[in-house]
Structure 1
Amino acid sequence: MAAGTEGAKPGDADLLGGAVHRSAALSREGLLERAFTSAFSGLVYAQIWEDPAVDLAALELKPGSTIAAIASGGCNVMSYLTADPARVIAVDLNPHHVALVRLKAAAARTLPDHAAFLRMFGSGEHPQNPALYDAHVRAGLDAGTRGYWEGGSLRGRRIGMFVAGLYRQGLLGRFIMVANWAARRYGVDLSEIAACRTVDEQRRFFETRISPMLDRRLVRWITRRKASLFGLGIPPAQYDALAGDRPMAEVLRERLGRLACGFPMSENYFAWQAFCGGYGENGPFPPYLQAENWDAVRSRADRVSVENVSMTDRLAAAEPGSVDAVVLLDAQDWMTDGQLNAIWTAITRAAAPGARVIYRTAGEETILPGRVKHETLDRWEYLAERSAALHRADRSAIYGGFHIYKLKG
């Protein structure tokens, strides 16, 4: 969640600063926070790193539900359409993410078939993608979003990133490319993990090829620097929560190990993105890109609205009792106690009876007790066992905890 430059509305930079800046500007932490804000000012995530299948299992949505979700790259927002909601309210402080998710929704409505949709957002790199956009999608966009994709960059129109490779774009995409390049300098081609046919083969690849790199002196030195993980979208405050009392290289070994060998490669598109820089030609894919979900996604794409606003402000403006589910991704790891109380006050006001809230954390434990006022948090039930079970099922494997709260009564 961040603010951008071209295409941004007035005040976007203030929105991001309010979310990230927690320290004095000239302090060491303050300088890191502002460096992160600068790094986060463009497109960050072309693909979201939360597993929408886990989200849907946790939310237990009924047809006709209203969902409010932080948008990020939009894979979650688009995948929620498979549950037949009445409305998906997507919000993000980063106008580049807003433009991407609006493009995905418009493309689902206007492209002629699933093959065309998969060409744009599955492979993300095809010479005919701009022509598809011109012929079908552009007329279905609002003027601001159309201006964004047809606006100039150093390589021409922004829609050209769907020729250059969508999943090599943005802060995360470039981070993955650099990490894979660095691995090759150590003699390891990470993409070779795609040839593994069993989880045991994946585990051997990780233990013999990937894990030893994390013992390299240079790698350990780099990962001790908070700025080293900006490319993963991890701000300074979240770095501390992720590391805890351990060296970051050891935390990364644990999380990468689960990503590399916690699930079969044939099922884990997050591992494909991390180690191969994109989806496999024949998948696996997120739910919204799967052929069996095409008709549902296409027919319901007009139920998605995307707004450049904070979740707190959006829910504060919602009708009381109107929202059945709230998806916060890992945004609360960034928040001060004041921000946490503000967002949970807004959530509680907007929540319908039995509403559920889900979020992820860099650390293992839920972060709300002792920080959110008890009169607010006491209205919610923490589903500890279900949270732990679904955390184990989360294929993205990079978070320490997954958490579900349900409104009592």
Structure 2
Amino acid sequence: MTDTAQDAGFRRNRKLKDALLQHRALSIDGLSERLFGLLFSGMVYPQIWEDPEVDMKAMDLQPNHRIVTIGSGGCNVLAYLSKKPARIDVVDLNPHHVALNRLKLASFRHLPSHSDVVRLFGCENVRSNSQSYDLFVAANLDPVTRQYWSGRNRRGQRRINVLNRNIYKTGLLGRFIGLGHIIARVHGVDLRQFAQVRSVREQRQFFEDRIAPLFEKPLIRWLTSRKSSMFGLGIPPQQFDELASLADGKSIAPVLRERLEKLACHFPLRENYFAWQAFARRYPSSNEGFMPTYLQAENYAAIRECADRVTVHHASFTELLAGRPAASADRYVLLDAQDWMTDAQINALWTEVTRTAAPGARVIFRTAAEKSVIEGRLSPAIRDQWSYLEARSQELNTLDRSAIYGGFHIYEKAA
């Protein structure tokens, strides 16, 4: 397959379109969905924005567990390997995310050392990263993934060269964060200065004095009242409506302010790499704070040892499970995918989850709003087979350092 043919295949990604499109093309909702789908068809999340430490607590992850999860940026899949689970099946409808997950796994298996992995995925402006890829990783990738990373983008540059710079400034979310920084600077606020605070008290003061007032600016109020302006944050039309319902029904500025306040103020900056990416647009150095779970030195050996237990599939969750035997999985990670789904899609998904779930299996997911999206929408015959661990869900939601979701939910199947 040529690069041109492969890129065309990405743009025509039927699986992604089928998951996103729910309305007629010439309706307002249909046009909104198609615009979101167009933006979402490229790289969206170089870094996943769900806290893996919360995930692993919620799953009570054990070495015998078989996990099925959505891939996104791949950070959490690798973090789960630190607990040495028996198997992880990764699904994603976005082929760019599939390629990134496979690259990260191969890098752990074939780069010479932990420091090489950190330079590749944890540091910016390391000009030798593409050479490390050529020497140690490329030959160990499957042909499609190798062609993706060794191939060229629309500017004629090899895709792998993005890791010579800062991959986290790219993708739909990275560009959205960059736009947020520009808008803040237009209003006289340099968000990068947040990285200079030295205590939670200073974090709070910075937020109250410089960030919070931005949400009262007319431009920001206008932008946050438009669905299309939030697509860069990965918020599809359905999620926007949920968030708007929590505020005044028009702008989601009050909700974004609340979420950003949690990100900026509820956790020490040193311990929150999500805040570093949001405000400094990079990970902290070793003397500034902690890297993501999968890049921490104490987890390297386990991740490298277990990387071959992961299989990455370009498929939907329901599609993968439909081909699996009964009672074949123990833990399911749905991220926020159900926020996009119709009732029929949710019931089709949970039919397969319930069939393939072993006794005591757990499902975890997040929602833009606070409430669980399956309540009142899932067939009683399926819902009655699951217990909602509501108190534990609420407890762990407060600990999620990414701070961008309203709800975190854990369901457990009867043993």
Matched position secondary structure for 2:6: coil
Count of aligned pairs? 406
Counterparts of 1:89 and 1:402, CA distance in 2: 22
- What one-letter code is carried by the residue in structure 2 that aligns with 1:128? S
Q: Which residue of 2 aligns with 1:133?
A: 133
Alignment of 1:224-243 (within 5 A): 224-243=225-244
The answer (yes or no) to whether the contact 1:125–1:161 under 8 Å persists in 2 is no
Query: Matches of 1:51 and 1:229 in 2, distance apart?
Result: 21
248 and 340 in structure 1: CA distance in 2 versus 1, 3 angstrom threshold: same
Residue 408 of structure 2 aligns to a residue whose secondary structure is: strand
2:268 counterpart of 1:267: no
| Deviation (angstroms), 1:181 | 1.6
1:387 aligns to 2:388 (yes or no): no
1:134-169 CA deviation, whole Å, 9 max, x = no partner?
Answer: 010111100000000011111511001011311111
Q: CA deviation at 1:5?
A: 7.9
Q: Are residue 249 (structure 1) and residue 250 (structure 2) matched?
A: no
Structure 1 residues 42-191: aligned runs within 5 Å = 42-153=42-153, 154-191=155-192
For 1:55 and 1:156, locate their aligned partners in 2 and report how far apart those are by CA, in whole Å.
Answer: 36
For residue 306 of structure 1, what is the amino acid of its counterpart?
A: V
Q: How does 1:310-389 map to 2 (within 5 A)?
A: 310-389=316-395
Change (3 A) 1:11 1:120: closer
Structure 2, unmatched stretches of 5+, are none
- Normalising to structure 2: TM-score of the pair? 0.95
1:226-282 Cα offsets, whole Å, 9 max, x none, are 011111111101111122141311111101100111101000111111111111122
The answer to whether the 8 Å contact 2:11/2:41 transfers is no
Counterpart of 2:373, as a letter, is I
User: What is the aligned partner in structure 2 of residue 215 from structure 1?
Assistant: 216
Instruction: Deviation per CA, 1:32-57: give whole Å up to 9, x if none.
Output: 10000000111000000000000000
Q: Distance in 2 between matches of 1:336 and 1:325?
A: 23
TM-score normalized by the length of structure 1: 0.97
8 A Cα contact 1:108 1:301, kept in partner: yes
Question: Are the structure 2 counterparts of residues 5 and 370 from structure 1 closer, same or farther at C-alpha, using a change threshold of 3 Å?
Answer: farther
Instruction: Describe the superposition over 1:345-400 as per-residue Cα deviations: whole angstroms up to 9, x where unpaired.
Output: 01001111100000000000111121010000100000000000000000001100
The CA distance in 2 between the partners of 1:7 and 1:353, in whole Å, is: 42
How far off is 1:64 after superposition? 2.2
Q: Is the alpha carbon distance of 1:159 and 1:21 closer, same or farther for their aligned partners in structure 2, counting shifts above 3 Å?
A: same
Identity percentage of aligned residues: 53
SS at match of 1:68: strand
2:410 to 393, 404, 408: 404
One-letter code aligned to 2:167: L
RMSD: 1.5
- Confirm or deny: 8 A CA contact 2:246 2:369 kept in the other structure: no
- SS of the counterpart of 1:406? strand
1:373–1:28 CA distance, 2 compared to 1 (3 A): same
CA displacement at 1:193 relative to structure 2: 1.1
1:195 counterpart letter in structure 2: Q
Is the contact made by 1:119 and 1:125 (CA closer than 8 Å) also made in structure 2? no
Shift of 1:7: 5.3
